[in-house]
Amino acid sequence: MNIKTISLLFFLLSGFASPSFAQTVGEVGVGQVLREVTMDGLLRSGNRLSDFRGKPLLINVWASWCGPCRAEMGSLERLAKRFQGRDFNVIGISTDDDRSSAEAFLKFAKVSFPNFIDHQLVLENMLGANKIPLTILVDAEGRVLRKISGSRAWDSPESVDLIGQAFRRKGGS
C-alpha cells in the first residue's frame, strides 16, 4: 500500500469525508469552467483538456484496483461506441499510481475511448474525485454540468436520458 492510499483510507475512516463538505484542493464546482491541464495519455499520446472543447464531454475518473470502476467500464465503452463522438466525447482519467496496471486493465477491457493517467493529482483534485468512480458531465465550453458518484450502466436508457438532459439533447439515437 502506498502513502496516497494509506492517507485516503485514514481520511475516509476518520469520518471527515462527508459529502456535504468534502472537497478536494482546487476543485472546480458545478457551474464553473474546468481549468486547462495537459494530460498524459494511456495507450496513445496525450492531450490538453481544452482539445475536447467545442462538444460536450463525459469524463469518468477510475482506477484499475476499483471494483465498481471496473464494473462500469464496459458500459462506458458501449456508450462511446454507440455515439462515436457525434453528440459528445467520452474520456477516462485513471488515478492509478502504476501506469502499467492502468494500461493492462484498458487492454484487458478492450477500451477504445481516450484515457489519461493523473500522476500529479491535478485532475483528481480539480474534478473533485475524493471517491471513485466519479463521472463529470461537461458542456462544450468546459463548464461542469453534473458530477455523478458511483458506478452505473452508462449505456442504459436511464443513463442515456440523463446525459441527454444534461447536454440538452433528446435521449435516444
User: Band of the pLDDT at 22, cuts 50, 70, 90?
Assistant: low
DSSP characters over 36-49: P-EEEEESS--EEG
Instruction: Write down the domain spans for the chain.
Output: 27-166
Over residues 29-58, the pLDDT tens digits come to 999 999 999 999 998 888 899 999 999 999
Rounded Cα distance, 42 and 53, in Å: 20
CB atoms within 10 A of CB 48: 11
Over residues 117-155, the pLDDT tens digits come to 998 899 999 999 999 999 999 999 999 999 999 999 999
Question: Which residues fall within 8 angstroms of residue 118, CB to CB, at 6 or more apart?
Answer: 39, 40, 93, 94, 95, 124
Return the exposure string of 83-104: e unless at least 16 CB atoms fall within 10 Å of the residue's CB, then b.
beeeebbbbbbbbbbeeeebbe
pTM for the whole structure: 0.84
| Angle formed at CA 39 by CA 161 and CA 5, multiple of 5 degrees | 85
27-166 maps to CATH 3.30.2310.20: no
Task: Determine contact, residues 138/118, Cβ cutoff 8 Å.
Answer: no
Is 77 a residue whose pLDDT tops 70? Answer: yes
Is 12 a residue whose pLDDT tops 80? Answer: no
